[in-house]
Amino acid sequence: MPQKALITGITGQTGSFLAKHLVRAGYEVHGTTRSLETTPWRLAHLGIAGEVQLHQLSATDFREIDDIIARKFDYIFHLAAESSVATSLKEPTKTVTANVTQTTAWLEAVKNASPDCRFFNAVTSEVLTASNRPLGEGAPCSASNPYAVTKLASMNMAQVFRESFDLYVVNGLLFNHESELRDARFVTGKIILNLCNLANDTSAPAFQLGNVLAERDFSHAEDFARGIASSLNHETSQDYVFASGTLRSVKDFFDVAASQLGFDPNWTGEGTDMVCRDLKSGRELVTINPEFYRPIDEKGKVGNPARAQSHLDWQPQITFAQLIERMIAFHMNKT
Ligand code: GDR
């Protein structure tokens, strides 16, 4: 009998890579999605749309969870969430429902109906307090936006269920993970989409970004999918940081992407007057719009994935340059 896994949020970026990993490893893979009508384009792109069983689950009403969990899974990977900081600032109440209430509903269902099922909860580096040191699992926590507040609560709830009810529950503290399946709500997807447009259309106007000096620890989501899968196969359950261990600015990401596309990016000005031009053509590529700044944008944080490396034998395999190459290749082949 194959092992049975359920991925909540299977049609998202990380859910899709995780589904592919588990399908290839021989699991029977199920997933929840908000709508069965929209085409799961990421699953189709990865060639596994026909190999997973989808179940509809609303983002606000979780009564269907009892029916879904009655199918008895060996593993549940809970990735469904409102995952954009910007959206959480616009819709904090909805974000609490999607991220805290939903996680609690899944944990409660596991406890009541399927206590042997191993449960992974996707958390974020946003809950870790910035420091000059690389951040591991024991680092102090705090939250500076609604998304981070909800993820901190969901992490604490998962820990309480693990300790109080003896469940196998893992929180994954995920630093930024990007890919060719990223949409333009997130800065890497926005940069690649717009730079590819500029490369394909010499009359396309410059686009706008917010704080390009913000720093993040970027990885490829496919690398995280392998780590997430392994985290439920250790003898004991505990939390894991997944990260590359290297800090880069949004500007670094932009510069590497622009260079790979044949531009010669050159920045002038400061703060919201920063502009990047292509030195070869003199063309303006990007300007800054303060509208895309966040009320509080955390200082750069770098992750320390030592526990995942030693317990799970996990190593990232896709470099920063390869991540960007894959994103560009995907968009250039589409247009
Ligand atoms: P983040 O990702 O908030 O780190 O969360 P995002 O790509 O939205 O922002 C990264 C950084 O880029 C700066 N930035 C911009 N961001 C967006 N979206 N649009 C812009 O135009 C722009 N210009 C500059 C932001 O200020 C920020 O500093 C991601 C998500 O995947 C979360 O779900 C996940 O938990 C964390 O990573 C780890």
CA nearest ligand 1 atom 27, residue? 214
Give the three-state DSSP class for 52: strand
Residue 313 is predicted with a pLDDT of 98
Q: Which among 115, 235, 237, 114 is positioned nearest to 172, based on CA atoms?
A: 237
CA nearest ligand 1 atom 12, residue? 187
- As a whole number of angstroms, the distance between CA 192 and CA 133 comes to 30
Reported as a single tens digit per residue, the pLDDT across 144-160 is 999 999 999 999 999 99
- Classify residue 205: in a domain, yes or no: no
Hey, which of 187, 188, 207, 301 would you mutate to test ligand 1's pocket, going by the most ligand atoms within 8 Å of its Cβ? 187
Catalytic residues: 126, 147
Ligand 1 binding pocket includes 180 (Cβ within 6 Å): no
| Average pLDDT, integer, range 41-58 | 96
| Buried/exposed code over 201-220 (b: 16+ C-beta within 10 A; e: otherwise) | eeeeeebebbbbebbbbbbb
Ligand 1 binding pocket includes 130 (Cβ within 6 Å): no
- Classify residue 241: in a domain, yes or no: yes
Structural domain span for residue 57: 4-179+218-246+302-318
- Classify residue 226: in a domain, yes or no: yes
CA nearest ligand 1 atom 16, residue? 187
Burial tier of 242 (Cβ tally within 10 Å: 0-12, 13-18, 19+): buried
Ligand 1 binding pocket includes 214 (Cβ within 6 Å): yes
Instruction: Report how far apart, in Å, the C-alpha atoms of 124 and of each of 56, 133, 238, 263, 333 are.
Output: 25, 17, 15, 33, 31
Tokens of 92: 């904090």
Reported as a single tens digit per residue, the pLDDT across 84-108 is 999 999 999 999 999 999 999 999 9
Number of H helices, E strands in the chain: 12, 15
What residue type is assigned to position 172 of the chain? G
Per-residue DSSP letter, 64: T
Q: How many whole angstroms from 192 Cα to the centroid of ligand 1?
A: 14
10 φ, ψ to 5°? -65, -25
Q: How many whole angstroms from 168 Cα to the centroid of ligand 1?
A: 31
- Classify residue 265: in a domain, yes or no: no
Neighbours of 321 (CB within 10 A): 12
- Classify residue 200: in a domain, yes or no: no
Q: Is the pLDDT of residue 335 over 70?
A: no
| Average pLDDT, integer, range 256-263 | 98
Q: Output the average pLDDT for the chain.
A: 96
CATH number at residue 24: 3.40.50.720
Residue 37 is predicted with a pLDDT of 80
- Classify residue 212: in a domain, yes or no: no
Is there a contact between 186 and 250 (Cβ–Cβ < 8 Å)?
no
- Classify residue 201: in a domain, yes or no: no
Residue 129 is predicted with a pLDDT of 96
**Atom from ligand 1 closest to the CA of residue 125:** 38
Q: Is the pLDDT of residue 334 over 80?
A: no
- Classify residue 335: in a domain, yes or no: no
Ligand 1 binding pocket includes 311 (Cβ within 6 Å): no
Ligand 1 binding pocket includes 252 (Cβ within 6 Å): no
Q: Which among 191, 177, 187, 189 is positioned nearest to 85, based on CA atoms?
A: 187
What total number of domains does the chain contain? Answer: 1
| pTM for the predicted model, two decimal places | 0.97
- As a whole number of angstroms, the distance between CA 10 and CA 289 comes to 33
Spatial CB neighbours of 132, under 8 Å, sequence gap ≥ 6? none
